[in-house]
Chain A
Amino acid sequence: MTEPDTLARPATPDSLITRSTGLEPLDKKPWYRPRHVVLQTGGGIGMVAAGVGYSLGKDKNELDILVGYVPTKYAGSSLTIATAKYTYSPFVLPVGERWQIRPLTVGGYLSYTHGTVNDEEKGQYAKGYYWFSTDTRVGPVLGSRLAYRRRTPAGQPRNVAFYYELGSNDLYILSYVQNRKALSVGDILTLSLGLKADF
């Protein structure tokens, strides 16, 4: 606890502000630099999906950009899936010194799949033959997150979090809405498991 770097830092303008407001030390990073890396499986966006994300609005909003991969043996062709996912976690609950729970994460995603077998070649179908897109999906997610609170030697937070999300997509939801007798909510749910690490 006596590391000079953390307790008695040189009086630069930044750390003066820090001291006077009592907030976390400011991260001097450009706006476009992502705040975390993400690794996820499932959720319809890849056997493995990896990417980066941004924190917005006091870290309760996050925008993640992911690229996922599914090998041929699981989907019939090798798929690359690009996804943008936005989530909002209204509650951040500390658990002891080292842990933190976000009991509720709600959000949505938009994904685009490249590499399907039957990919609507030009002129193959008349306009509107299939009214839905085979490649673009949108859907909601709902989940929770458990974070381990790490800090850099300079005292800046670098959490590592595990999350799960239940999700669905536009086509599944439409199917359910029109068939409330024969389908259940469980039929249209997907599960994703993921890790998020600040850097």
Chain B
Amino acid sequence: MLSIFRSHSLISYLSIAATAVGLSSCEMIEFSPNDHRSPDDKQALTDKHLTTLLANPLPAGDTLRFVYTGDSQRFYDDAEDLVKSVNQQKGVQFMLVAGDISDFGLAREMWWVDDQLRKLTISYLTVIGNHDQVGNGRKAYGEVFGALNYSFVYGDTKFIMTDTNGREYNFNGRIPDMPWVRQQLQDNTVRRHVIISHVPPQDEDFDPAVREAYVTALREDPRLVFEMNGHRHDFSIGQPFNDGVTYVNSYAFEKRQYLIVTMWGDKEFRLKKVPF
């Protein structure tokens, strides 16, 4: 009679219950919402997606085409619909999410976004946003996704992903990391450069002490096609500094639209808006 109440039996019942609701008991035993221990399939997602993407290089003569979106924060139902729509697109090679993957900087939120985005038939890559740095979010992003500054080359184009969330560092004068950005822009082994970050340089959340250096570095890069951001939740395209450099802002997931970006030649591109 009493044996069924022994604690080891209880714990095994609990494990069964936990598995039944979709999480192992280890992940359910959360030490804090800031606890970033993640299951194996929710770690180092940037590296994993890059490995997949780069294993299938763009054949010569094929057009470079990717989906551009941003700010998935707390729009999980919208993410589900976005994935269904993107999976219908032909000839798209990957998707970029321009930061604010999470709303509260918590690892679980990043898992929830990945729960949707992993249903994509293409790879997706992210850059860190300000909401991903709330609390201990910077560490959670590092665990779930990866580096805060990284770059990759695909289709003769270098995609430079950089952290521009200066306010989250209390405007310490070091965000974005200009030595790193300049070094990336100096790569002349590829035809084109595209730089992607969350906070646009004309925004008040961009460190004003670094703005001039950033804008100047972009202006002086002969290979730069355009600069891309998120943060503002709505599409825009323009040259805010009137210096010949084009800045593109993404729709947020909640806007239920995304962009398909097609690039060819040295700096030719076309943006297509897709509602979903």
A interface, CB within 8 angstroms of B: 41-47, 68, 70, 74-77, 79, 81, 95-96, 98-99, 101, 113, 116-119, 121, 124-125, 130, 132, 134-135, 137, 146, 162, 164, 169, 171-172, 174-175, 178-193
Contacts and interface: CB of A to CB of B under 8 A. Distances in A.
Given A42-B30, A172-B108, A186 B36 contact: no
Interface string B170-197: 1000000000000000000000000000
Contact of B31 (A75, A146, A181): A75
B60 interface: no
Given A68-B32, A134-B104, 17 more contacts: A74-B36, A76-B36, A76-B139, A76-B140, A117-B136, A118-B134, A118-B168, A146-B7, A146-B10, A169-B33, A174-B74, A175-B76, A175-B109, A184-B21, A187-B112, A189-B21, A191-B18
Nearest to B142: A76
Given A171-B106, A186-B21, A162 B31 contact: no
A113 B170 contact: no
Contacts of A164: 10, 14
B223 to A, nearest CB: 34
B112 A125 contact: no
A43 B34 contact: no
B112 to A, nearest CB: 6
Contacts of B76: 175, 179, 181-183
B25 A191 contact: yes
Contact of A118 (B30, B36, B135): B135
Interface string B126-137: 000000011111
A44 B130 CA distance: 23
B170 A74 contact: no
Contacts of B23: 186-187, 189
A187 to B, nearest CB: 6
A135 B22 CA distance: 27
A191 B139 contact: no
Contacts of B136: 75-77, 116-118
B31 A186 contact: no
Contacts of A181: 76-77, 80
Contacts of B168: 118
A44 B10 contact: no
A49 B28 CA distance: 16
B29 A193 contact: yes
16 contacts: A44-B30, A70-B31, A74-B35, A75-B136, A77-B34, A98-B2, A134-B104, A134-B105, A135-B135, A162-B7, A162-B10, A180-B77, A181-B77, A187-B115, A189-B23, A191-B30
A68 B75 CA distance: 32
Residue of B11, B104, B136 ringed by the most chain A CB atoms within 10 A? B136
Contacts of A183: 76, 112
B22 A184 contact: yes
Contacts of B106: 171
B35 A70 contact: yes
B85 interface: no
Given A74-B36, A96-B2, A116 B135 contact: yes
A79 B34 contact: yes
B134 A134 contact: yes
A70 B109 contact: no
Contacts of B5: 95, 99, 101, 146
A44 B107 CA distance: 13
A169 B35 CA distance: 14
